[in-house]
Structure formats: C-alpha cells, structure tokens
Amino acid sequence: MKNLTVFTVSLLANVIIANAQNLLNKPEHVAYDAANQRYLVTNYGNGKIISIDQAENQEVIIEGLTGCLGIHIVDTTIFVSAGTNIYLFGLNTHTPLDTITPEVSNWLDGMIDDGEGYLYAVENSGKIHRVNLADKSCEVIVNGGLPAYPQDLAFDSENNRLIVACWEVSSSIISIDLNSNQISNLLPTSSGQYDGIVMDGQKSIYVTSWLNSGRVYKWSFPYNDEPEIISQEHAGPAGLCYDLEHNLLVVPNFNGNSISYITLSQTTAEIINRKPKIEIKGSYVSGICYEKTEISITNLLGRKIYNQCFANQEIRIDLGETLNRHGTGLYIVSIYSGNDFYSLKYSIL
C-alpha cells in the first residue's frame, strides 16, 4: 500500500455550521443534485432524506423510509432504496411518484444508471437488479458469483460495465460486463469492508473502507499500481458521491453523523482566483496548451459525451456543434492541463 497522498481535505465533524442543527442520523449515501446545487443524504437511522445546500444548511425533504440506504438521481426523479423497494420522488417537489419492487430476498443498497434508460441496484445477498425506467419492469442480471455482501456500484460508460464494491474482507473490486453479464475481478485488494464506490472523469476509481479506522482509496487509471490512501480516520465511511462540477468526493460518515468533503485538486477558491489557460469564449472552448491537456464534456448525470487530448497546440472546440445533438440542458466542460483542473459550465437552450 502506498503512503498517504496529500490532498486538500475538509472534514465537517459533529457540527456542520456553528449553532446549526445537525440533522444527520447514520448517513448512508449521498447524491449530488446539480440542478439545485445541493447534496441529498439518506439517513438510515431515522428514515429521512436530508438536503445540504452550498451554504451547508440542512433540511429534511423526505421522511418515513424505513431502512433507506442508496440514493440516485435520474433527470428530475430521486430514487431511494429502502428494504426491498425502490421509492421514486420528484426532484423539486419531493412528492412520492412511484414504487418499484424487484424480486429481492435480502435488501437493496447502492444504485446507478447507464444513461440509456436503465437503473441498476445491488442487493446485499449477491444480486444485481436492472430496472427499465420506461415501464418500471425489473430483471435479475446477476445472481451469485460476487464476493460476500455487495454494497455499491459505479458505471463505466466507455466499457459498458458495472464496477462493484463488496463488504467481504480482501474481496476484489468486481467488473460486470453488461453485454454478457459476465463477472470478473477488476482489482485485487488487500483491504475490504468496502461500502461506496465511484469513478471520476479521469477513470480513477474511489472506494470507502471501514477497515483501518475508515479510509478512502483511489486507483488511478489504468490501475497498474497499488491504491493510494487519499483520506482516513473516517467514522464508518459509507456510500460515496462524486461531484463532477466541483471535483469533490462527498463521504457520509455513518458512525459520525457527519459529512466529509475531499477536494481532488485545488480548493474552490484557488480555481476561481486562477485565470484559466483555456476558457469558453462564446460557443467555443479555446486557448493554447503547452502541456498535455485533456478536455471532456459530460451532462449533469456524469455521462461523458466528448473526450480528447491535446499537446502543444491551439484548441478550438465548437460546443454548439458538439452538443446540439445531445439536446438542451447544462453541460460540464472539464479541463485537465498538467496539474491544473478547471470545470466550466455551458448551456444549450
């Protein structure tokens, strides 16, 4: 295992804001609501969904969900796994919309969607469920063959596969090919008790582990090296969230009733105060790069729709031409240049 890598880490302990009430009660999973600039957190302890805005104000928006674990947002719908059901709520209204009941023998946990109309939910007993979001029909695509107690899953769009984290000690990080539903060991590990997993725009994989006082590990693509410990001393780190817009990991501390924010590059202030070498001018991404630069464009669900590398050249990308066929909405343009990271917004009206 590598030594602890130094990242900018902001830990919100037992009090989120001075004199503010902490509404977190065994927080289990976090989803980022980019449209409303807030984080949504499941409270396993009392069945409530908590909203945390950019000023770190907390608010109960949904309650009455016994054993709620996973949370995921697709378009304008919140999906929450609780027991054997998946509950649907309006993103802006918070009102109940529907209930999906897969064939579950244990309980459901983490969820992810593929951007193509399917939601995937992991079951603690070793199943992966696929839900057709158009008609809410369900099927089991994996039934056995996983390490014990799978907890959460990420979606790798470039390889059309799910990546699964499991609670079993020394279990591998698992890959499930969605073309064949075949299971394979993606990353052998020496830790375990993994609870959350996400993938960032650079294809790095992050997982939380309850072992060794609670850690967050990172595997950098192409996953040839041992993982880095990017944060530790968490109190039961659970279902991770990756906030692409701010390049943050958001970690719910189940036993600490708190949330940790891990900045994966510069702090927000440093990004704002630094003039980008490459910027959006009108409908173009333009500038000159003197070192290796990678530009990717994703929608608000984190689905990558453009990715290209440049070096020692002028850059000019027509965003209108690139994005018009993907429809209206807000897009995130991520620019990785040397050690710098910039995240810019662009709207198609």
State whether residue 153 is helix, strand or coil: strand
From 39-53, 200-214, 255-269, the region with the lowest mean pLDDT: 255-269
Whether the predicted pLDDT of 292 surpasses 90: no
Distance of CA 233 to the CA centre of its chain: 21
- CA dist 30 to 39, 52, 57, 342, Å? 7, 10, 15, 23
Listed in sequence order, the residues at least 6 apart from 295 whose beta carbon sits closer than 8 Å to its beta carbon are 278, 285, 306, 307, 308, 309, 310, 315, 317, 333, 334, 335, 336
pTM: 0.75
**In the predicted model, what is the mean pLDDT of the chain?**
86
Q: Which residue type, as a one-letter code, is found at position 178?
A: L
What's the whole-number mean pLDDT along residues 12-27?
Answer: 62
- Residue 73, pLDDT score: 96
Q: Domain spans of the chain?
A: 8-263, 268-348
Residue range 268-348 forms a domain whose CATH class is: mainly beta
Whether the predicted pLDDT of 229 surpasses 90: yes
Q: What is the DSSP string of 281-349?
A: ETTEEEEEESS-EEEEEEETT--EEEEEEE-SEEEEEEHHHHHGGG-SEEEEEEEEETTEEEEEEEEE-
Query: CA 211, CA 310: separation in Å to the nearest integer?
Result: 40
CATH for 8-263, among 2.60.40.10, 3.30.420.40, 2.120.10.30, 3.40.50.150? 2.120.10.30
What's the whole-number mean pLDDT along residues 38-65?
Answer: 96
Whether the predicted pLDDT of 298 surpasses 90: no
What's the whole-number mean pLDDT along residues 245-268?
Answer: 83
**Cis bond upstream, residue 222 (ω within 30):** yes
Q: What is the CA radius of gyration of the chain?
A: 20
- Residue 7, pLDDT score: 38
Whether the predicted pLDDT of 3 surpasses 50: no
CB 163 within 8 A of CB 169: no
Whether the predicted pLDDT of 169 surpasses 80: yes
Give the percent of the chain with pLDDT over 70.
89
Beta bridge partners of 288: 314
What's the whole-number mean pLDDT along residues 274-281?
Answer: 60
Bridge-based pairing of strands 248-253 and 241-243 is: antiparallel
Whether the predicted pLDDT of 95 surpasses 90: yes
Instruction: pLDDT band for 290, please (50, 70, 90 cuts).
Output: low
Q: What is the pLDDT of residues 108-124, one digit of tens each?
A: 999 999 989 999 999 99
Whether the predicted pLDDT of 157 surpasses 50: yes
What's the whole-number mean pLDDT along residues 301-328?
Answer: 81
Instruction: pLDDT band for 128, please (50, 70, 90 cuts).
Output: very high
What's the whole-number mean pLDDT along residues 216-224?
Answer: 93
Distance of CA 285 to the CA centre of its chain: 26
